[in-house]
Amino acid sequence: MNQNRRKHFFINKPLQIRFMLAVIVPLFLINLVALAGLYFGIWSKVLETFSNEQTLNDLVTASRMVEYEQARHPVASQDFSSLSFFKQTEKLSLRQREVFKGILDETNRSLLWKFLLLLFFLAWGTIFISHKIAGPLFRFSKAFNEVEKGDYRSRVNLRKLDEGHPVAQEFNEAMEKTDHLLSNLKALAQEKDAPQAVAKIKEKLSTVQTSANV
Amino acid sequence: MFKRLTCFLLAFALAFSFSLTPLQAFEPSPEDRELLNKIEKDTLQYFTRFSDKVTGLTKDSSRTGSPSSVAATGFALAAYAIGGSRGWISQDYAYTRILTTLQTLRHKAAHQKGFFYHFLDARTGERVWGSEASSIDTALAVAGALLAARYYPGTEIEKLAREIYERVNWKWMMNNSDFICMGWTPESKFLPYYWDSYNELMILVALSIGSPTLPVPPGAWERWLRPEGDYNGHKIIYASTGSLFTYQFSHAYIDFRNLDDRGINFFENSREATLANREYSMSFSGQYKGYSESSWGLSASVGPGGYKAYGGKPGGGLQDGTIAPYATLSSIVFTPEFSTQAARFFYDSYQKELYGNFGFKDAFNLDKGWWANEYLGIDQGITLLMLENYLNGEIVWKKFMGLPAIIKWIELTGLERRSASTAKN
């Protein structure tokens, strides 16, 4: 299990960030729309229940008691608040608005923590998934660099849960063959009988397709 | 000779200017007088309809579920007495209603050291909604009781009214401070608010100083602040909200016209405040279609967003197009012409939406297409008393000013009585 563990969160930062954005943004928007739908839907229902006559009477009376006091001790005008999203509350009295605002704020705080937790898991998930792609790409890139420098012993060894195992296998097989060919060519180049060595090299290279196909 | 002539001319000019002060010279047309009488009579019906038949306690509002209000109950006592004297209800009915209500207040209604709780269960008299033992609401209840007693001297009504008044420990409500506290609850004890600045407090302080048993020191009259402000040239001792009711409640019972408080005449102050309030709302006539020369009245009332302390300047100046007709009508002793003009306008223009079995509903807001569907007890009460003063020979003032408590308050506080010749009104 430890073998499969990455040492760094970001192996290929630009790629992983692009990947995260590609995953997170749509997921975030979908979640947002779903949450907003639930949120407003639920609260609209809650508010509707207050149109019940008895409940409304009790609410109005309770709020009126407080409003009388507030009329004696004026308070500052109401600024933008969580209630501003709900048109229904414009019809409510000051006290009713206060009660609803308290409930809404408490719910919003609770939802905010859950939303942040969701966002955290979403970010962690995308990093985890992007790791499976970015890791192999990194290893391929590293292998190509080594080949470019002339080291044909390079192989791509992917972790168990990484994506691209078939490609890596094909790459490794190709590298194996190339390595083998070049090893043979190098061995032939060491032979003392030069004409025979050249003939063998020509034979070995006869199956190789290159740009300079002469 | 020249000096004498100058004095004569000055006196003539002053007398001429007073007698021709338009608001004072105004006499409503017979049709308008009839309308005002109708409004007063209809307003009375609120108290007969929304007072409990057994206890007499009056609902705070005509709205379903409303508890009874001690202040509204006080106004009901005054209303029955007035209604009986005017023949709108029988004397027997008025007497019985007053007696029943006073017996409830004396023996059943929840109180703390004589201070009634603001809101009571109309059937049981128990405290409801966690309300406070309220100083101002008790004062308004006591004022109504004492006025009713003046209509029925030497009766059980007078005895009960006196007992209710004398039971109140006004000094205790000062909580060892310089001012009278607004209230007390069993849970939190004294509220952190005091009657320390001009508003409807004058009736409370007057009754608390005039108490024959447990009064507050006379110095309590001088201590409350008299903040000065100005709007459109109207210099006013103003209330923080600028609501019209704050300039009216004390004046429903106390005739301030001939009382000078170290250079301040609170009747004239209320008239200036009313004019300023009207002009303030008119300054928004371009913004709100409800405001006009004939449609004004910013005061605490229900509104599209609940009960709010609407008001003019100086003061809070809260307005959103809502007008409280009760406030316009209750200014009638200060601005008879403007108030009558507005009453006629409201009645002719909005009768269908605004006028019901109990007079004008509490408020309306044309811009939001909103019409109150309820009457408030205290707003009905102030309307009725002010109309009675205006239409029926200032009878409420005359009766109330004869109370020993009021005479004591005037004497102890050094308020100066203007002589008839120097009084403006």
Residue B114 located in a structural domain: yes
What pLDDT does residue A195 have? Answer: 87
CB contact under 8 A, A67 and B307: yes
Residue A83 has pLDDT above 70, yes or no: yes
Q: Which of B117, B119, B244, B307 to mutate to test the interface with A (most CBs of A within 10 A)?
A: B307
Residue B354's H or E segment, with its range, is helix B336-354
Q: How many domains does chain B have?
A: 2
| B28: alpha, beta or left? (left if phi > 0; alpha if psi -120 to 50) | beta
B201-210 and B135-151 helices, crossing angle to 10°? 70
Model confidence at A87, in pLDDT bands (50, 70, 90)? low
Q: Which positions in chain B touch A71 (Cβ < 8 Å)?
A: 241, 243, 300, 307-309
**Tens-place pLDDT, residues A1-19:** 455 555 677 777 777 777 7
CATH number of the CATH domain containing B323 = 1.50.10.140
Q: Which positions in chain A touch B370 (Cβ < 8 Å)?
A: none
CB contact under 8 A, A63 and B306: yes
Q: What is the mean pLDDT of chain B?
A: 93
Residue B319 has pLDDT above 50, yes or no: yes
Can you say whether the dihedral through the CA atoms of B260, B261, B262, B264 is positive or negative? negative
- Residue B67 sits at the chain A interface (C-beta within 8 Å): yes
Model confidence at B7, in pLDDT bands (50, 70, 90)? very low
- Residue B373 sits at the chain A interface (C-beta within 8 Å): no
**Closest by Cα among B121, B57, B61 to B379:** B61
CB contact under 8 A, A65 and B305: no
- Residues 6 or more apart whose Cβ sits within 8 Å of residue A190: none
Same domain, yes or no: B152 and B250? no
Cα–Cα distance, B196 to B14 (Å, whole number): 36
Same domain, yes or no: B319 and B186? no
Same domain, yes or no: B293 and B144? no
Residue B301 located in a structural domain: yes
Same domain, yes or no: B376 and B231? yes
| B124: alpha, beta or left? (left if phi > 0; alpha if psi -120 to 50) | alpha
What pLDDT does residue A2 have? Answer: 53
CB contact under 8 A, B306 and A61: no
Same domain, yes or no: B231 and B179? no
Is the model more confident about B234 or about A93?
B234
Same domain, yes or no: B149 and B182? yes
Same domain, yes or no: B181 and B290? no
- Residue B368 sits at the chain A interface (C-beta within 8 Å): no
Least confident range from A111-120, B26-35, B102-111, B319-328: namely A111-120
How close B122 comes to chain A (CA, Å)? 14
Q: Strand order of the sheet with strand B133-134?
A: B133-134, B183-185, B189-190
Q: What is the mean pLDDT of chain A?
A: 79
Which amino acid is it at B8? F
Residue B213 located in a structural domain: no
- Total-model pTM: 0.71
Q: B226-234: list long-range contacts, CB under 8 Å, 24+ apart.
A: B226/B197, B226/B198, B226/B264, B227/B197, B227/B198, B227/B314, B229/B313, B229/B314, B229/B315, B230/B314, B231/B276, B231/B279, B231/B280, B231/B312, B231/B313, B231/B314, B232/B276, B232/B279, B232/B280, B234/B272, B234/B273, B234/B275, B234/B276, B234/B279
CA dihedral B157, B378, B205, B314 (to 10 degrees): -160
Cα–Cα distance, B49 to B62 (Å, whole number): 9
Q: Which residue of B has its CA nearest to A93?
A: B306
Residue B6 located in a structural domain: no
Same domain, yes or no: B192 and B234? no
> Residue A37 is encoded by which pair of tokens?
């739908």
What pLDDT does residue A94 have? Answer: 62
Residue B120 has pLDDT above 80, yes or no: yes
- Residue A57 sits at the chain B interface (C-beta within 8 Å): yes
How close A39 comes to chain B (CA, Å)? 25
Model confidence at A89, in pLDDT bands (50, 70, 90)? low
CB contact under 8 A, B129 and A65: yes
Residue A19: phi and psi, rounded to 5, are -65, -45
**Tens-place pLDDT, residues B226-263:** 999 999 999 999 999 999 999 999 999 999 999 999 99
For A113-145, give one letter per residue: b (16+ CB within 10 A) or e: eeeeeeeeebeeebbeebbebbbbbebbeebee
Same domain, yes or no: B246 and B150? no
Q: Which residue of A has its CA nearest to B316?
A: A74
Q: Which positions in chain A touch B318 (Cβ < 8 Å)?
A: 74
Identify the three-state secondary structure at position B24.
Answer: helix
CB contact under 8 A, A62 and B129: yes
Same domain, yes or no: B193 and B342? no
ipTM: 0.73
Residue B104 located in a structural domain: yes
- Residue B65 sits at the chain A interface (C-beta within 8 Å): yes
Residue B147 located in a structural domain: yes
CB-nearest to B307 from A62, A64, A91 is A64
Can you say whether the dihedral through the CA atoms of A50, A51, A55, A59 is positive or negative? positive
Model confidence at B421, in pLDDT bands (50, 70, 90)? very low
Model confidence at A93, in pLDDT bands (50, 70, 90)? low
Percent above pLDDT 70 for chain A = 85
Q: Which positions in chain A touch B378 (Cβ < 8 Å)?
A: none
- Residue B240 sits at the chain A interface (C-beta within 8 Å): yes
B274-293 average pLDDT score: 97
CB contact under 8 A, A95 and B306: yes
How close A91 comes to chain B (CA, Å)? 6
- Residues 6 or more apart whose Cβ sits within 8 Å of residue B339: B328, B329, B331, B332
Q: What angle do CA B396, B398, B403 make, to 5 degrees?
A: 95
Cα–Cα distance, B45 to B73 (Å, whole number): 13
Q: Which positions in chain A touch B65 (Cβ < 8 Å)?
A: 54, 57-58, 60-61
CB contact under 8 A, B306 and A72: no
Cα–Cα distance, B219 to B217 (Å, whole number): 5
Structural domain of B294: 226-398
> Residue A130 is encoded by which pair of tokens?
């992007």
DSSP string, B384-421: HHHHHHHHTTTHHHHHHHTSHHHHHHHHHHTPEEPPTT
Burial zone of B175 (CB within 10 Å; 0-12 exposed, 13-18 middle, 19+ buried)? middle
Strand segments (E) across chain A: none
Residue B39 located in a structural domain: no
Residue B392 located in a structural domain: yes
> Residue B47 is encoded by which pair of tokens?
């108290």
What pLDDT does residue B227 have? Answer: 97
Q: How would you classify the pairing of strands B228-231 and B234-237?
A: antiparallel
A162-180 average pLDDT score: 90
Cα–Cα distance, B228 to B10 (Å, whole number): 29
**Closest by Cα among B372, B350, B360 to B305:** B372
Cα–Cα distance, B382 to B69 (Å, whole number): 14
Q: Which positions in chain A touch B300 (Cβ < 8 Å)?
A: 71
Same domain, yes or no: B242 and B365? yes
